[in-house]
Structure formats: structure tokens, C-alpha cells
Structure 1
């Protein structure tokens, strides 16, 4: 009889456990969120879910984690659950690492001020770099000798809620480093560029000067041809970059005539640093410019450009497209 009672008790307990596992957990709000830090013990994970709004016994939840044999496989991350989820599904979610991810988009052509503003405005990102100078930021990234401009790859970065802005920025830095090294290793022969850093500077100019993607290779060829001849690059975006936050949207003649280290009208060669984040297409264009003898280009007004091999042809193009002369 005692054996029978024991068997019945076990069966009853098993049935109750099965019922509990398959029954939706009660939540005190429509969505319950929880961020689990690396190394958090399973017992604390169970307690944290209850504190966050899962209406069950934390001890029971912890025992389920243990009994399943998967307690040690729970992954750190940011999770969100909704009404209808069961204890079994909750554990499966954490074991899979099925996190709620936020996104940060870095845009081609942005400068470092815009990158840092986007970081500061990103949702659920732990802010750790807001008070740092650019030099301090680069030191934390392991590149104290580098200027930050152009060093981050424009892309969309998914991240877990609560991670630091430095973590996301490091991913963007490493992504640009990888792509720059690969592009430099596969560059065309005979380019007037001495290093991958110079290629990055040129790519940033190509990025800012290209209105139509199909023109990118020709835009790059104009600047490569000018570098070969020792001609000033004469590109407005570098002058604008040198003006910094004082630029009011109107580039004046005096700005083109005022010498700064970024004024490519008064100085030959490349400026000392990139002026923006180039995308992969601009990197490739800078290192594989279109075959062309063009030395000039002017905007047609529809996003495309008219390219010319000599000054007389360029002046005619300026009259046609900029001054609306026949």
C-alpha cells in the first residue's frame, strides 16, 4: 500500500509540474523586460524575472531551471516576454539567446560629431563616452595615435539593451579596419597613395562629392588624376570640414581663399585626415578609380556630374549647368 501511495504521490507531483510548465505565466504588465548580466546565477535569474513582473514563485522557477538540466546554458542578454508565455518557453528563450535587440544606424558621409550624437541618442544604450574627448575615445579603442574621423564603418548595428556605447563603437571601428585593410590589399596598381590611411582620406572625399552612385568611379578618377599631376584637389567638402561648426551652410569665396590644413584650394595633396565616414563603395572607388583622364567635374543639377578633361571644357560645362548659359 505504501508503495502504491508513493507512486500516486509521484504521479500527482509529475502531473502538477507538467500542468505548471504548460500553463501561461501570469504577468503584471503586457510586456515584461529583463536584462541578464553575464555570470548571473540561475537562482538570481529566476528572482529577477519575478521582480520584473512574472507572477510566480521564484523558487519554483529556479527549480525548473535546475530540473531541466539547462540552467547553465542561460545566456546573458536583454529579453522581453508577453502574455501567454509558459515557463518552458521562457527557459527556451534564454537558452537560445532570443534577445530583444535595438539598432544603431551610422550613415555614409557622417562626420564624428554626427556619430557621437547618434550614440548619445540611441535607445537603451549605456552611455560611457559622452564626457570623453575624441583623443580619449580613440585611446579606449586601442588607437591613441589615430584621429577618429572616418574610422567607423557606416552600417546598421544591432545591440542588446544595456550594453555600452563603447562596445557598439568598437564594432564599427573594427568593421572599418577590416574593410580598409582588405580594400588596400586589393588596390589597383600605380595609385598615388602611400598608405591605407591616405586611401581612407581619399575615400571620404569621394563619399562627400558623389551625388549619383554611378559617377563614383569617375569622381575618384578626377582626384587620383589631380594627385598624380600635383594639382590642388579643390574640393569644397574639405573646406567645409575645416570650418567645423562655424559653417552656416553658405560657402563663401573668402572661405576658399583662407588657408587651413583642410583647404584643398590653397594646398596640394590630401588633407591630414578623412572628412567623413566612407562606405564600402567609396573605398572601392578610391582604390579602383574608373579609367579616365578627367580633371574636372560639375554638378548637372539632377544628382549626376559632367566630367571634363580640360579647363575649357569644364568652363563650358559650368556655364551650361551652373550659370544656365547656352
Structure 2
């Protein structure tokens, strides 16, 4: 009996030892698997649809050859059940991504982010085309005006009221979110510019400042010139002179503009033809940048009334019509 008991205990100890060693080996194997890099050479998208079970998720990774031993993944989450709480969405799997880092990304819902840049100097019409071409962004033409209405603006005139910037969104989300952010940012920056404007500007409201800023934006892309361009228009407004700026004429022509402005176009009576109307046009003609807003609010202290392009992105500024005509002959008429 004593020999049997000793043999039983020895056998039991051996089995327990084997079990313990095997369990430790299995635990270490799974821990090592969690730190294993996925089979990814270039970044790729991984979409997890709503309702996908963890077993189905494991099969997806196996089918895409991101992992080779799906059973290890199933056992890994048994050790840490929290890692099985993955969220649906579109994710980006990058080189050197590990099994654990991918699971943590999916549990946190850190979906792939897309960037969209709405450029300064462009119109709402141009932005609508750009937004409609984003394959993973839901967009409706009415979004711009809907956002105005939701903010108490029933004018139906969205031009210039949205801030040009880079915005981020997730796959299959609505453009409504980023456009709301764009609208809010423009209102904030416009009011800042209006509140910090020079005293005595011939502008009646922040909206008129926005209109002027949009013209400045279209007239020059050279940062150092914006305050001077602003000064020319402010000086003209003070003297009751017409602005006579081509970008407003082009905007008023709409789709008829094909790259050139004729004398007939300059004589045409439109609400935006500043060769024919007094003062500012009725709305902005594009989305002004922050720099253009600041220039409109704080024009340079110069008495220029004219400017003409030197055909290299810069301009020659003049105080008198005689000086201006000389500059036009030199740089535009090649005389």
C-alpha cells in the first residue's frame, strides 16, 4: 500500500509538472504571438463590418494572410477577453503592426482618418465638386445651405462663409461634420478680424470685410502684397472710386468665363462687375484665407490707388493714374 501511494504521488507530481510546463509553454507561446508582427509590407485597409464576430474577424485575417495561425489568436483573447471587443469600421494596417497593436486599435475604434483640404481662393461650386469626388465621404449639394439655416442664416448664400483648411474624416461619414467645423471656424476668425480692425475703415459690417477679403485673396497669392492690395481697395472706397477688379467680373460671368475678359465683359451690367457698380459686390467671390482676412482688417498705411501685374505673381503699385498707365504700358502692353 505504501509503495502504491508513493508511486501514485510520484505519477501525479510528474503529470502536474508536465501540465505546468505545458501551460507555461502555451502561455509564453500566446504572449509571443501577441507581439508578432503581421504579414504587412505596405499599408493596407482592413474593413470590419458591423456584426462581425471575433471568429469571423480571425478568418478575415487568415484569408488576407495577415496571420498564419488563427487558433493562436482565438486562444489569446481567451486569456484577455477585453481584446475581443473589436469595433466595426475601416482601419489601416501598417508595416511592423503587431497582433496586439491591431487588436488594441480595433478595440479603441481608432479608424483610418482621411484628410481633405479645402483651398483658399476657391468657390463653393469648386468645393462641391471636390467633396462629391471623395469616395469614402457622403456629400449632398444642399449641405452648405442647410448649415447656414441651422445657424440662423436663411440667405441661401454660402460663398465665403466657410473656412479653407485641412479637415479629417472617417470612411462613410457625412461631409456635414467637417463643413460645420469649417463654418464655425470662419465665423470665429471673421469676428476676430472684425474686432481687431483698424479704426475708420469704410466697411459697415464683418460681412463686408469678408467680401473684401475674398477679393484680396483672388487678386494676389503673394503674402507680402496682401496689405497693399487691401490698401488700394480701401483707398478707392474712401474716395468713392469703383474697385475695378477683374476677379469680381470673372465671378459674375460664371460658366461663361473661358480664360479671357473682353471689353464687352467689362461693360456688362452684373451685380459683380465692379467696373460698373459702386462699392463692393453683394457677396464674397471665393473663400478668403486667414491672411486675407487680416489684410482686409488692417491694410497697409500707403496711399496707392492702382496696381498692375508684372506677370510673375507680383504687382506694381501706383499713386496716380499717370503712373499706373506707364506701368500698364510697360508690363501689359509691352510698350
**TM-score, structure 1 as length reference:** 0.82
Match of 1:107 among 114, 119, 137: 119
Q: Which structure 2 segments of 5+ residues have no match?
A: 1-8, 64-69
Q: 1:32 to 1:238 in 2, by over 3 A?
A: closer
Query: How far is 1:159 from its partner?
Result: 2.5
| 1:50 corresponds to | 58
Q: What does 1:1-326 correspond to in 2, within 5 Å?
A: 9=19, 12-13=22-23, 15-23=25-33, 24=36, 33-35=45-47, 44=52, 46=54, 49-50=57-58, 52-54=60-62, 56=70, 60=75, 63=78, 66-67=81-82, 71=85, 78-82=90-94, 85-94=97-106, 99-122=111-134, 124-130=135-141, 132=142, 135-136=145-146, 138-139=148-149, 143-145=153-155, 147-325=157-335
1:107-130 CA deviation, whole Å, 9 max, x = no partner? Answer: 2211111111111223x4222314
Which secondary structure does the structure 2 equivalent of 1:176 belong to? helix
Q: 1:282 to 1:211 in 2, by over 3 A?
A: same
Q: Bigger shift: 247-256 or 12-21? A: 12-21
Query: How far is 1:76 from its partner?
Result: 7.1
| In 1: Cα distance, 2:154 partner to 2:74 partner | 49
| In 1: Cα distance, 2:188 partner to 2:88 partner | 27
Q: Bigger shift: 316-325 or 6-15? A: 6-15
Q: 1:189 to 1:26 in 2, by over 3 A?
A: closer
1:12-52 CA deviation, whole Å, 9 max, x = no partner? Answer: 44542442243237769976634569xx78xx573563364
| In 2: Cα distance, 1:282 partner to 1:161 partner | 33
| In 1: Cα distance, 2:329 partner to 2:208 partner | 33
Q: Which structure 1 segments of 5+ residues have no match?
A: none
Which secondary structure does the structure 2 equivalent of 1:33 belong to? strand
Larger-gyration structure (1/2) = 2
Which secondary structure does the structure 1 equivalent of 2:316 belong to? strand
Contact in 2 for aligned 1:135/1:147 (Cα 8 Å): yes
1:124-179 CA deviation, whole Å, 9 max, x = no partner? Answer: 4222314x375346446774435111122222223222322222222222222222
Which secondary structure does the structure 2 equivalent of 1:102 belong to? strand
